[in-house]
Chains A and B, each alone.
Chain A
Amino acid sequence: MSATTEPGTKSVPLQITEDEAAVYDRQIRLWGLEAQQRMRNATILVVRLKGVATEAIKNIVLAGIGTLIIMDSENVSEEDLGAGFFFRDEDVGKKRVDVAKARIQSLNPLVTVQTMTEPTLLEAESLDALVMTVDLVCVTDFDREGLFRINEVCRRFKKPFYAGGTFGLLGYIFCDLLKHDYIAPDRSAPKEATKNIKNTLVYSPMYEGLNHKWSGLTRKQTRELNPAVVFTVLALWEYESKHGRLPDDPKTSSDLDNFALAFLAKAEVNKQAITAIPRDLIETIAVTAAHEISPVCAVVGGMLAQDILKALAAREAPIANFFTFDGSTGGGTVCRLNMP
């Protein structure tokens, strides 16, 4: 799953036992024993423990990854109880990872769970040292510049990178899997004769991806990708970058509107498809972006975990490369940003 190491060439040190096979029966029937063994041998770093991370962690721990490292330095707030099912009322004020650790561990005793709370770990050299030791990095509910920076470190160490988060009813996943080989059945073949085919995807780093030009797409192609949600997410990141926090006030909607307009123009988005973010979406997101709700976290965290597992197993096509979710309808689309 990285540019230099061919997937699978690394020896598979841990074999699935018969007991594990009994627990994992229903999923081994889906993705096979080798895929399960690849997951079993993976170490994953998850940065921040909010709603999306809670969901994604639950899913990858149940699936049976080898080691989970969670990095979060914050304390549980009362608001965190809304989507954080690893937290209880009496945990408010304590470190998020400290109270969540045992509950995460109890989901699957076969997984090693480690936690880190020092914020300095995300600074230059210590981040390098951390990324070096893991197989995949997943950063959640993070600001844009921070994502760029961690993505860059992952690139340097040839580690797959995932970013995911929610803004109220909206959510996103960005991934940079460098050069990724995977196999998937050829679903265009007749049902009885499905064959597995090897494919390769070449990814783009996030800061380049977000500069992607949308010119060349027809009105229909553009609309299919739900550009209103994509550019709302870009505008939210821009707002956060300018103001140091997410918008949480109806008065921020004009700011957001302008940011989105600037991105739409810069990306040369087909004007027949969209000229501005719909008024109601902008007004809604201005007061909801800073909030998370359980069902949206479940969808985005589910998609995020599923994609991490696909990437680890080198089975099935992963997201390429920017997924956005629109919780007002339930629709989720993927646009290819700066990918061939």
Chain B
Amino acid sequence: MPDENGMVVREEVLVPVPPSLSATSSLASLSSLPMSSSSSTRRYTHARAVLGPDLAARLPETKVLLVGAGGIGCELLKNVVMSGFGHITLLDLDTIDLSNLNRQFLFRKKDVKQSKALVAAKTASAFNPKVKINPIHGNIKEPQFDIAWFKSFDLVLNALDNLDARRHVNRMCLAAGVPLVESGTAGYLGQVQPIVKDQTECFDCVPKPTPKTFPVCTIRSTPSQPIHCIVWAKSYLLPQLFGEDEESGGELDEAEKQGENAQEIATLRKEALAFKAVRSALRTPPKSENASDASKIAFEKVYRNDILNLLSMGDMWRTRAPPTPLDFDKIKDGSFVLEKKSSTSPNGVPPNNGSNSNGQASGSAATEKLLNGTAPTASTSSNSSSLKDQKALSLQENLELFVSSTNCLAERIRAGEDTISFDKDDDDTLDFVTAAANLRSAAYGIAGKSRWEVKEMAGNIIPAIATTNAIISGLIVLQAFQLLRKSYEALRNVHVQFRPNMPLSTIGMSPPNPECGVCRDTYAELLCDPSRVTLGEVIDGVLGDNKREVSAYEEKRLLSDPDFDDNLERTLESLGVTRGKFLTIVDEDGDYEAIQLGIGVLPPNHPHDETIIFPSPLPSPPKKVKVVAAPSTPPPPSRSTVLSKKRAAPEDDIQEAPAKRARTNGNTTIDNTPFTPSKKRKLDEDGLIILDTLDEKVEDDDDVIILD
């Protein structure tokens, strides 16, 4: 580019400094001018041409936070480093696993077990020595990452894989007033969502699908699908044998309240007691010649006695096939015969439908046959696979695996491990869950699953590939450019989808959901010493002259309300409301939106006798918007609809409600409190309401593929 450097440098100087840039940052860009004739700016020649001199000049001064250094995070880090974002903070709590290497290209085999953030930063900093990467091996929910910390960034980019952390970052960004780009991928699919408080929907404006749950009785006594047996093995049997020694009565009490079969629950209670004996057998050193003793005791209990107990309840099996008690010795010597109960094969050979659990075109023998007209090779046609883990296990093999894995786990407990819980990468627990689930499946006439399949189902593995992550991370940065330009009208939600003529679809931004229990709240920062300020002091101070009846929460925990003032004299610290957490002030009459006070620390040189700095001006939450449902497109039910659905009661009944609410001493969590700050979302999580999605247009034919 002849003459271009001189031209561009001049433009950089002349460009008015955007208001978001501080005086120091504009000075910094001036001071870097003498170097700009070298490769330090020719590296950015292309970026300057495409992004324009204004944005290009700001990038080196831009402070960006990347949350996550995994599949999306590695790709994203590469893009922001190459694009020239000058100050990058990269945070991840995870370490590198072998199965990351197919897509997380900043990691090598030698890096396995190292911190993702540290290794990613090291690898990517070589891509562009002009940028500074600050890696943090930590959890984004740690207290030091408070509102003030979030405020130190111009932009936050999410590259997370779990709902909890994404919600947290969403809320912190709303509280700090920092724009966020949210993202996610699953297999070939992905999406990118820019979020600006009061301009766009936030992450929680649209309800998210909740994880699938099963009724207790389905898992404990009447499974009908492989997943029921896997959940039983992972979340019930494994904790019963190797988890914490606790009375598991709570779950059954709850199930009873939900109206599940009372007789069945009584039987399950008896069953639970019998586990004590098995637990102690597993913790006793075995006599050398009888190594399988304890595992046999466990087996006899769950696959024989418990099933015999259940069978004694004739009522249960009138409409469904009864299970068959298993016989340890007969399975071992191969003489055990299961009668065929259904079309599924109880020997553990799964029926092959040629598609995996994610509905993608996986390569089984059946699909090969579809493509070629013939199965690929004789050796793979019956078993569809040459991988050991993908082989279906016989009943006998499952028994052997049950014995060996139970003994391994028992040995670990005896060697001093306190408790063992399921981890898909812990081979012993995976073996145990595979075998235990398959044995139970056999007893119930359900098809078995291979170790490979159990790993995916029990470990909630979402298939992941480099390409989708690369595409999504490119799209994140393109939206980030629009955010930095404050070109809000140019922002788009983008979806990577199966649609032959529109693989990347864009949707203009929707305004915030007026009913959103997260972004409609009023956020403010409360700097204080939580060990020296009381709840009452904070509430009084924050309300100022606008005295009204309020209740206070931390997350779902009720700390005070007009009829419950026991905690007002207690310090925030004693109530667990500390740095990085939010104290939520909710209007008792529902007239005002809630106030969210993010707890931060006092400045270093603050006088010792002043323990609190109230936000100035004090937060003044707007009056709540009453939404009238339009007949054509039903909006999500308003808060009042939700409440009236929950308890269709006369007016005075509602006024009694606060007195009925459970109270807390600051240490216990109350679920299901109807007045939680983000009640819509939380009620939804609890499965109480089902909302029509706001983004029907987004989803119209995402899943439909048009074939010729």
- Residue-by-residue, is A156-199 near B (CB-CB < 8 Å gives 1, otherwise 0)? 00000000000011000000000001111111100100111111
- Least Cβ distance of A312 to chain B in Å? 12
- Least Cβ distance of B634 to chain A in Å? 24
User: Is B500 within 8 A of A317, CB to CB?
Assistant: yes
User: Is B49 within 8 A of A62, CB to CB?
Assistant: no
User: Is B490 within 8 A of A329, CB to CB?
Assistant: yes
Q: Which of B236-244, B281-289, B333-341, B502-510 lies at the interface?
A: B502-510
User: Is B371 within 8 A of A63, CB to CB?
Assistant: no
With A24-B102, A33-B386, A85-B82 as known contacts, state yes or no: A293 contacts B47, CB within 8 Å. Answer: yes
User: Is B50 within 8 A of A291, CB to CB?
Assistant: yes
List 8 A–B pairs whose Cβ atoms lie within 8 Å, in order of A's numbering: A23-B102, A79-B1, A183-B361, A201-B708, A224-B502, A248-B1, A298-B75, A316-B498
User: Is B387 within 8 A of A16, CB to CB?
Assistant: yes
A186 to B43, CA, bound (A): 47
Asked if B474 is at the interface (CB within 8 A of a chain A CB), the reply is yes
User: Is B376 within 8 A of A34, CB to CB?
Assistant: yes
User: Is A32 within 8 A of B475, CB to CB?
Assistant: no
Q: Which of B126-134, B544-552, B574-582 lies at the interface?
A: B126-134
Q: How many residues belonging to B are interface residues under a CB distance threshold of 8 Å?
A: 91
User: Of B127, B377, B389, B479, which is in contact with the most chain A CB atoms at under 10 Å from its CB?
Assistant: B127
User: Is A25 within 8 A of B99, CB to CB?
Assistant: yes
Asked if A278 is at the interface (CB within 8 A of a chain B CB), the reply is no
User: Is A78 within 8 A of B39, CB to CB?
Assistant: yes
- Least Cβ distance of B159 to chain A in Å? 13
Asked if A81 is at the interface (CB within 8 A of a chain B CB), the reply is yes
User: Is B47 within 8 A of A26, CB to CB?
Assistant: no
User: Is B50 within 8 A of A169, CB to CB?
Assistant: yes
- For A330, give the chain B residue with the smallest CB separation: B494
- Residues of B contacting A259 with CB < 8 Å? none
Asked if A335 is at the interface (CB within 8 A of a chain B CB), the reply is yes
User: Is B471 within 8 A of A31, CB to CB?
Assistant: no
Select one of A15, A21, A198, A225 contacting B371, CB under 8 A. Answer: A198
- Residues of B contacting A332 with CB < 8 Å? 502-504
Asked if B291 is at the interface (CB within 8 A of a chain A CB), the reply is no
User: Of A82, A181, A313, A328, which is in contact with the most chain B CB atoms at under 10 Å from its CB?
Assistant: A82
Select one of A108, A182, A187, A295 contacting B79, CB under 8 A. Answer: A295
Asked if B208 is at the interface (CB within 8 A of a chain A CB), the reply is no
A83 to B50, CA, bound (A): 12
User: Of A25, A27, A309, A323, which is in contact with the most chain B CB atoms at under 10 Å from its CB?
Assistant: A25
User: Is A12 within 8 A of B708, CB to CB?
Assistant: no
Q: A26-B99, A106-B108, A296-B474 are in contact. List 4 more A-B contacts (CB 8 A).
A: A26-B102, A32-B361, A248-B1, A295-B478
User: Is B474 within 8 A of A302, CB to CB?
Assistant: yes
Select one of B75, B478, B708 contacting A296, CB under 8 A. Answer: B478
With A64-B102, A83-B82, A185-B355 as known contacts, state yes or no: A299 contacts B475, CB within 8 Å. Answer: yes
- Residue-by-residue, is A287-326 near B (CB-CB < 8 Å gives 1, otherwise 0)? 1101111111111011101100100011111011001010
- Least Cβ distance of A3 to chain B in Å? 16
A85 to B120, CA, bound (A): 14
User: Is B372 within 8 A of A8, CB to CB?
Assistant: yes
User: Is B502 within 8 A of A334, CB to CB?
Assistant: yes
User: Of B187, B354, B387, which is in contact with the most chain A CB atoms at under 10 Å from its CB?
Assistant: B387
- Least Cβ distance of B232 to chain A in Å? 21
Within 8 A of B (CB), among A193-222: 194-199, 201
Asked if B363 is at the interface (CB within 8 A of a chain A CB), the reply is yes
Asked if B465 is at the interface (CB within 8 A of a chain A CB), the reply is yes
A contacts, CB < 8 Å to B: 6-9, 12, 15-16, 18, 21-27, 29-37, 55, 58-59, 62-64, 78-79, 81-83, 85, 88-89, 92, 106-109, 168-169, 181-188, 191, 194-199, 201, 224-225, 248, 287-288, 290-299, 301-303, 305-306, 309, 313-317, 319-320, 323, 325, 327-336, 340
- Residues of A contacting B376 with CB < 8 Å? 8, 12, 34
Select one of B102, B126, B501 contacting A88, CB under 8 A. Answer: B126
User: Is A330 within 8 A of B506, CB to CB?
Assistant: yes
With A26-B102, A195-B354, A309-B467 as known contacts, state yes or no: A334 contacts B367, CB within 8 Å. Answer: no
- Residues of B contacting A168 with CB < 8 Å? 49-50
- Least Cβ distance of A35 to chain B in Å? 5
User: Is B50 within 8 A of A288, CB to CB?
Assistant: yes
User: Of B39, B50, B192, which is in contact with the most chain A CB atoms at under 10 Å from its CB?
Assistant: B50
Select one of A82, A290, A303 contacting B43, CB under 8 A. Answer: A82
User: Is B467 within 8 A of A302, CB to CB?
Assistant: yes
A88 to B128, CA, bound (A): 8
- For B475, give the chain A residue with the smallest CB separation: A330
- For A336, give the chain B residue with the smallest CB separation: B501
User: Of B188, B370, B504, which is in contact with the most chain A CB atoms at under 10 Å from its CB?
Assistant: B504
- Residues of A contacting B209 with CB < 8 Å? none
- Residues of A contacting B354 with CB < 8 Å? 195-196
A320 to B499, CA, bound (A): 11
User: Is B49 within 8 A of A31, CB to CB?
Assistant: no
- For B83, give the chain A residue with the smallest CB separation: A294
A82 to B40, CA, bound (A): 10
A325 to B192, CA, bound (A): 16
Within 8 A of A (CB), among B91-114: 98-99, 101-103, 105, 108-109
